[in-house]
Structure 1
Amino acid sequence: MLATVTNIAEYTVTELAFALKRTVEDAFGLVRVRGELSGFKKAASGHLYFALKDDKSVLDAVAWRTLAPKLTFEPADGLEVICTGKLTTYPGRSKYQLVVERIEPAGLGALMALLEQRKRMLAAEGLFAPERKRPLPFLPEVVGVITSPTGAVIRDILHRLADRFPRRVVVWPVLVQGEGAAEQVAAAIEGFSALPPGGPVPRPDVLIVARGGGSIEDLWAFNEERVARAAAACTIPLISAVGHETDTTLIDFVADRRAPTPTAAAEMAVPVRRDLVLQVEALQARLEHAMDRRLDVLGQQLDGLARGLPRPEMVLGMAAQRLDDLGERLKLRSPTELVRLQGERLEARAARLEELVRDRIRHAESGLECQTDRLAPALITSRVELLRPRLAREAQALGTAITTVLRRKSERLEASVRQLEALSHTRVLERGYAIIKGRTDGHVLPRLAAVGVESELTVVFADGELAVRRADQPTRTKPKPRHADAKDEVGPQGRLL
């Protein structure tokens, strides 16, 4: 028979469960556990449930929903992580679990695996496609820089921009490392992209996202998916200048251009002003040289064409001769004389027509007289009445014909007068030409050889004449007349005649 034990404390199930809970929490208040994620799921409430396991054991874990937005990577089964939290029990199931306060990938291998996973996902969405890359502006007016305001990076960028081509710079200060850095960088990219043109804050023409070198953990903010998607959605051409030349982050694949260093990013953003000045001067010199050569070629072509043209004095000489000929003919038959002759012809034709009419009337009257004996008075009267309208019509038709002929002759005469006036030498003189005549005979001198020894010439202008004297002929002086009572002076040699 067993003895009754009376000195052992008695617990209820709940008391014992909570006693174990306090003991576990006191002994393992804060622990770091390394293991592989298994059975990861996110509940509708936002809490995360998963297990940590190794090759021998399994530990249940839970992360409250307040931790989910702080994760810097996407948890997945099979990923090795390090979880920091406190160990506790769950009395309702008689099980213990780890309440996780922080999750981070376990070591460089895990980070690289996570990076490759994100890279494959973004590449499958086409965010790395070359056709998405936009060209950088040749000379931006405003350069936006997203970086830390206290580091050496911003000083290097400003110094390089001032050396190459000073531009206006707008800096958006952000954290470039640690918790919250990815959110600030993504917000800065989105903020610059949302600026309206012409607003109080100038909208940049190009963006530079820059950070100095560091380890993969230090640069991890630029490997976050949110930063990569913000860079892909940016409406401003973006240059990524994160780390050194050997460092590569996800934003480098999404950006329009990747610079090996922040200083190189500034060199990509703006050209060298001095180089542009030299290039413009060289282009100006080439343009001036090309214009000179073109003018020389055109001048040579013009000289060649001029040699093929007739001499102006020959063309004017023939026109002057024709003008003289027409002038002589015009003197013989002036417009007044032509009008008089045409008038005489018209008067003669009118007289002949009137005579013809009178002959017809006399013929008709004589015929009536010859037939008086045979015709009754009534018949004669009716005959005359019949002939009178006919004679009136013929007289009217004759008058119309005369008027038409006179009008046509007058129009032809006016056309001849206008043609003669157009060919008149006075019209040529009104255009600035002049006629040279000799003073002695009044003949026109069309050539220099025709002047001969003529010393005095007459220049005929449109509004008058001008007497001129040749400059190459000496002026003849008339001898003074001798008075009748003047006595001849006799020299010592005497008078010969």
Structure 2
Amino acid sequence: MSDLFEDPAPGLNAPEFTVSEISGAVKRVVEGEFAHVRVRGEVGRVSRPRSGHVYLDLKDDRCVLSAVIWKGNADRLRTPPEEGMEVIATGRLTTFGGQSKYQMVIEDVAPAGAGALMVMLEKRRAALAAEGLFDPARKRSLPYLPSVIGVITSPSGAVIRDILHRLRDRFPSRVLIWPVAVQGDRCANEVAAAIRGFNDLPADGPIPRPDLLIVARGGGSIEDLWGFNEEIVVRAAADSRIPLISAVGHETDTTLIDHAADRRAPTPTAAAEMAVPVRMELWSWLQGQEARLDRCAANGVAQRGQRLRDLGRALPQPEALVRQAEQRLDHRSERLSAALRHATGQRRLAFQDVAAHLRPRVLAERLIRSRDRLLRVELRLSTALGARVQAGRIRFTTAALSAARMAERVGNEGRKLAGYAVRLELGLARSVRDRRDAITRSRDRLAKLAERLDQSAGAAPAAAWARLEALERLRQTLGYRETLRRGYAVVRAEGSVVTSKEAAETAAMLEIEFHDGRIPVGGRPGRRAKTDPPAGQGSLF
């Protein structure tokens, strides 16, 4: 049997461990020996990832200890760690096997003495001042006489009693109290919430919106007043739309809210004195102002009365001002009668000179001469109109006879006849229009003369108008359209007038115009009509 197994080599009987077993053993030893420790050191690198945990280093002049604050503990810390702070951290040691290192799990952090708190306070003050939260230009003036005052303090301390007592002595006002914790972990959040709550009250709501805020607390150590140094409180005070007085601690105590507030009071009692004036002093001042106003009014009235009397003595008597005007009125009244008589006499002489030429016999003679002149003008006008109408009638008759002769000689002169007919029609229309316009103008002038001569020549325009209508009917009778009404027709081929039988037989399409319209007729090229038109059917060709 001894041949089947080899003897173990010397030194190979030590047990073998895995990496996890070694890491777990070290973890148990470290946590067992250092389950609760307090470490003093300076805060080095601080990291706050999105998970909410806080990772930091604790260091002294020789070594560095990694530490972590889990999210649940980080939210409850009274003093969050900041780089450069000297703190005392309470917690336990453990290991992190993933990186083969040990670290401290911190459960609480406290500044290592007042010196460290002052360093952190100065650092925070410089950071907030760089943002402009302490700028004097941002501070608002306090209202002179606020109707409602909001007080943010503890309702059970002596501070609120001192404030109410001082307000009652100086000038009683309505006071709204917002109870808060003035020290401890809840102090900063409650004070900031109270400032924002007063600012969010509606102006016309059931709870009146304060005109002034007072944040008050009695004296204490720097640790007791630390809640008023928190950034959340400082930002709430700087953002307040209501003027705010900071009265935290005694006169020697200074917190960051004092820099952000619109006014700092050394004590809560002094804040009440800043908030309202003394009622009796205000009453005395009002009485003094009233007395001064009465004296000024009386002196002003007396001075103006004396001034009026002085000016009145320098004025002349009213009777002296009126006498000269009365004298001028009397003088001009005496001259007025004579002037009226003289003007009336001159006007009467001028009227008599003019009236001497306006006797009835002279007027009658002038009227007779005017009537004779009008009769001669009427006679000349009638003669001229008759001559013009007669000449026009002769020309129209001649043109009609020429047109009839041309109609009888249609033949090959048909195309020329059509042009002559158009020109004749245009000429006749233009001549008739001119004559009509002339007759119209003459008729208007004649009408005016007739009205002035008792319408003695009223029949002449009517006769002229009748002659004109006769000429118009003659013109229409001699036109080719009236010829069409008598049974004639116009034959066209391709837009031109057909004047021969041969042209009509060779045309592809004919168009015949009657007096009431045109009709197309299909042509028969190469063929001749076998029969002549019926007897009695007239034609222009």
TM-score range, shorter chain: 0.5 to 0.7
Q: 118-127 or 16-25, which moves further after superposition?
A: 16-25
Name which of structure 1's ranges 109-118 and 302-311 shifts more when overlaid on structure 2.
302-311
Residue type of the alignment partner of 2:115:
G
The CA deviation at 1:173 is 1.0
Q: CA deviation at 1:83?
A: 0.8
Task: Indicate the larger mover: 111-120 or 139-148.
Answer: 139-148
What's 1:235 paired with? 241
Which of residues 104, 115, 118 is equivalent to 2:121?
115
More helix by share: 2
Unaligned 5+ segments in structure 2 are 1-7, 373-541
Contact 1:38 1:77 in 2 (8 A): yes
Could you say which residue in structure 2 is the equivalent of 1:378? none
* AA aligned opposite 2:55: Y
Matched, 1:154 2:145: no
For residues 344-383 of structure 1, the aligned pairs below 5 Å read 354=355
Which whole-Å CA distance do the structure 1 matches of 2:366 and 2:38 have between them?
A: 154
Matches within 5 A, 1:210-289: 210-289=216-295
Whole-Å Cα distance in 2 between the matches of residues 44 and 135 of structure 1?
A: 42
Distance 1:340 1:220, change over 3 A: same
Identity among equivalent pairs (%): 55
Counterpart CA distance in 2 for 1:254 and 1:219 is 16
2:179 pairs with 1:183: no
Give 5+ residue unaligned stretches, structure 1.
Answer: 365-380, 390-497
- What's the CA shift for 1:300? 1.1
Conserved in 2, the CA contact under 8 Å of 1:240 and 1:259?
yes
Give the match's secondary structure for 2:151.
strand
- Counterpart of 2:297 in structure 1 is 291
Contact 2:143/2:212 (CA < 8 Å) preserved in 1?
yes
Deviations 1:407-431 (A, max 9, x none): xxxxxxxxxxxxxxxxxxxxxxxxx
Deviation at 1:101, TM superposition (A): 0.9
SS of alignment partner, residue 72 of structure 2: coil
Once residues 186 and 10 of structure 1 are traced to their aligned partners in structure 2, the CA distance between those partners, rounded to angstroms, is 61
- SS of the counterpart of 1:293? helix
Cα distance in structure 2, aligned partners of 1:341 and 1:107: 127
Residues 188 and 233 in structure 2, CA contact (< 8 A), matched pair in contact too: yes
Residues 65-103 of structure 1 show CA distances to partners (whole Å, capped at 9, x for unaligned) of: 223333444533332111112333445555443211111
C-alpha contact (below 8 Å) 1:160/1:267 kept by paired residues: yes
- Post-superposition shift, 1:25? 4.0
Aligned residue in 1 for 2:107:
101
Q: 1 CA distance for matches of 2:33 and 2:96?
A: 16
Task: Specify which of 197, 205, 208 is matched with residue 202 of structure 1.
Answer: 208
Residue 31 of structure 1 and its aligned partner are, at CA, apart by 2.8
Name the Cα RMSD after superposition. Answer: 4.1
Give the Å deviation of 1:340. 10
> Which whole-Å CA distance do the structure 2 matches of 1:356 and 1:93 have between them?
146
C-alpha spacing 1:384/1:224, structure 2 compared with 1 (3 Å): closer
Asked if 1:86 is matched to 2:85, the reply is no
Q: Which residue does 1:465 correspond to in 2? A: none
- Equivalent residue for 2:133? 127
Q: Is the 8 A contact 1:73 1:114 kept in 2?
A: no
> TM-score if structure 2 supplies the norm length?
0.58
**Which amino acid in 1 is paired with 2:88?**
I
Q: Quick one: structure 1 residues 352 and 29, their matched pair in 2 at CA, closer, same or farther if it must change by over 3 Å?
A: same
Paired letter, 1:37: V
Match of 2:177 in 1: 171
Q: Partner of 1:49 in structure 2? A: 55
Residue 217 of structure 1, CA deviation: 0.5
Between the two proteins, the alignment pairs up a number of residues equal to: 365
Give SS of 2:75's match: helix
TM-score (norm 1): 0.63
Letter in 2 for 1:109: G
CA contact (8 A) 1:38 1:78 kept: yes
Residue 294 of structure 1 deviates from its aligned partner by 1.2
